[in-house]
A and B are shown apart, each in its own frame.
Chain A
Amino acid sequence: MAIRRKLFAGLAVFLSGLLSSAVYAAADLNMRPGVTETSVEAFELHMIVVWVMTGIAAVVFGVMFYSIFAHRKSKNPTPATFSHSTTVEVIWTAIPVLILIALTVPAVKLLIKMEDASNPDMSVVVTGSQWKWHYKYMEQDIEFFSNLKTPQVRENFKLEDAQNNENYLLEVDNELVLPANTKVRFLLTADDVIHSWWVPELAVKKDAIPGFINETWTSVPTPGIYRGQCTELCGEWHGFMPVVVRVLPQAEFDQWVVKKQEEKVAAEKAAAEAAARSWDMDKLMALGKEVYDAKCALCHQVNGEGAGTFPALKGSEMAIKADRMKDHIEIVVHGKAGTAMQAFSGQLTDAELAAVITYERNAWGNNTGEIVQPAEIQAFKAGN
């Protein structure tokens, strides 16, 4: 008996220790209320349900534990014989029904509000693809890809990286910038598989489905940075395609739009200049390696040997035979349907495309000696 008691005491200390360290370690054990009207209301509804459920649990488990204590064989040697009571059974069917009805009312109200994307002030098309997001501002004519800041190669994700970076896995190269206090409508779709766009603090989660368009909305009152992730399994790097929304006051947002549009013009000019120039092999190879390691090595590997379903480029016919050069350009520029091979025309400049193709045709013993000039890419894209 004494041993058992000691055991229980030890157990209790162990458990409470675990619990308190957990509480200490993570300040928030709960859902975050978020910053939008709907997220706060969702949080409140969540709290209501939590408390209702806790109440029911307290009553049901309370009765049960009392029974376990008081109706043990040692305390109650002769069991009662009842096994049925219509009254009681009707009561405990009716009470849950009433509780559920009471819970349904606020849920219905909030649901209708959350699904009402009408009369937006601006619209953003969000396109998911393996494994990044693409944002297109309908009114401002701005569009860009949003990648995880760290290139998606295994070596980049270590414990130290997580410990040294508060926003580990939650940082992107190009954030989605939105104005505050503006009803923004998101139109979601996907390029390959289903993705899901989630920002917890805005209480926005909607699936991006290839071939279909979905809509949802938000209106963020407080400027700030809000981070989320893709929440629908979308393949190998599903855990590595975050969503980052930066909300700016209207005036700053307008400045940002102007800056973005200027950048776009400048980039087009630079690309045209680069394409007009003739590049030498060393320059193309240097740029090509940089681009390859960042964009291609994830699947085709740094050594060009491929992995699993991702084909090897080293020694591949397409990358070494002169008459297949056109196919090579084609697949890099436009991608391949039904595979993870994306169209890179929108993601890389003509110079970068030319460089990476040149690199692939000359690295790892693919010594074709062939050079692809940015001008050739430009001509290819124009359909000539």
Chain B
Amino acid sequence: MTERAPQDKNKQLVLRLLGIVGGMFIFGFALVPLYDVFCEITGINGKTRGQAIYQKETVNKDRLVTISFITNVNRGMPWEFKPMKTSMKVHPGELSEIRFYAKNRSSQNIIGQSVPSVSPGEGALYLNKTECFCFDQQTLLAGEEVEMPMKFYIDADLPEDISHLTLSYQLFNVTEAVQSATGAAK
């Protein structure tokens, strides 16, 4: 055995181990999208999915599912925000609409972002939104009020044990975040 041999062996092994370290560091970040995918499959965290397209689903007239709407305005958000109806009964497969009322009660223009969450979490998999204000940010001028529609349908294959869904929107003030992001872009 020459003198160099163990040195090379060490180097090789260290590089391999550093590879694991680097890989695991990336894996830590990969957990973020992986988690999203995992949640989308299992509905683990009750996040609803993006925009769905309604294609003449078979409507199950024999079944009625109650869906309740909750709104929650985060601190630092000077808006009034509430559902026009707190709950409704729908047939799975049927396209329905609910409107939300929002009013900017401040003297400034405010950008809001509403974040949806569904309980029970699995229910999120079966709640399809074809139109929702939560897909985009809303800008309301000082004192402006709007009614925002949300169209949705519940999959006909919603599991039998789910009879009641709750859809909650938490409204955040993202004015500063948006402004600093566009400021940075300039």
Contact = CB atoms under 8 A, between A and B. Distances in A.
Interface of A: 116-120, 123, 125, 127, 129, 138, 185, 187, 189, 191-192, 210-215, 326, 330, 333-339, 341-343, 380-384
Contacts of B77: 334, 337, 343
Contact of B76 (A138, A337, A384): A337
B119 A214 contact: yes
B128 interface: no
Contacts of A189: 70, 72, 117, 168, 170
Contact of A333 (B78, B142, B173): B78
B76 A211 contact: no
B107 A211 contact: no
26 contacts: A117-B120, A118-B161, A119-B163, A120-B164, A125-B70, A127-B72, A138-B87, A185-B164, A187-B168, A191-B75, A211-B170, A212-B47, A213-B168, A214-B119, A215-B166, A326-B107, A334-B76, A334-B78, A335-B75, A337-B74, A337-B76, A341-B76, A380-B105, A383-B105, A383-B106, A383-B142
B48 to A, nearest CB: 11
Nearest to B47: A212
Contacts of B107: 326, 330, 383
B96 interface: no
B43 interface: no
Contacts of A343: 73, 75-77
Question: Which residue, of B72, B118, B143, B161, has the highest number of chain A Cβ atoms within 10 A?
Answer: B72
B13 to A, nearest CB: 32
Nearest to A136: B70
A189 B115 CA distance: 12
B164 A119 contact: yes
A336 B75 contact: yes
Contacts of B73: 343
B117 A211 contact: yes
Interface string B61-83: 00000001010111111100000
B92 interface: no
Nearest to B176: A337
B93 interface: no
A340 to B, nearest CB: 9
Contacts, number: 94
Contacts of B70: 125, 138, 187, 189, 213
Interface in B37-52: 45-47
A205 to B, nearest CB: 16
Contacts of A341: 75-76
A382 B105 contact: yes
A117 B87 CA distance: 17
- Per DSSP, chain A at the interface is loop
B172 interface: yes
B162 A335 contact: no
B173 A337 contact: yes
B76 A336 contact: yes
Given A118-B163, A189-B170, A383-B105, 13 more contacts: A118-B161, A127-B72, A129-B75, A138-B68, A187-B70, A187-B119, A191-B72, A191-B75, A210-B170, A213-B168, A337-B76, A339-B76, A384-B143
A335 B117 contact: no
Contact of A381 (B105, B115, B118, B168): B105
B91 interface: no
Contacts of A191: 72, 74-75
Contact of B75 (A117, A212, A334, A384): A334
Contacts of A342: 75
Contacts of B151: none
A327 to B, nearest CB: 10
A308 B72 CA distance: 29
A341 B118 CA distance: 28
A326 B105 CA distance: 13
Contacts of B142: 383
Most buried by B among A192, A335, A337, A384: A337
Contacts of A211: 115, 117, 170, 172
Nearest to B107: A326
Nearest to B78: A334
Contact of B106 (A127, A192, A210, A334): A334
B103 interface: yes
Contacts of B172: 211, 337
B46 A213 contact: yes
A212 B39 CA distance: 13
A334 B104 CA distance: 11
B75 A187 contact: no
B168 A383 contact: no
A380 B108 CA distance: 12
Contacts of A380: 105
B179 interface: no
Interface in B149-164: 161-164
A354 B174 CA distance: 27
Given A213-B118, A337-B173, A384-B143, A123 B68 contact: yes
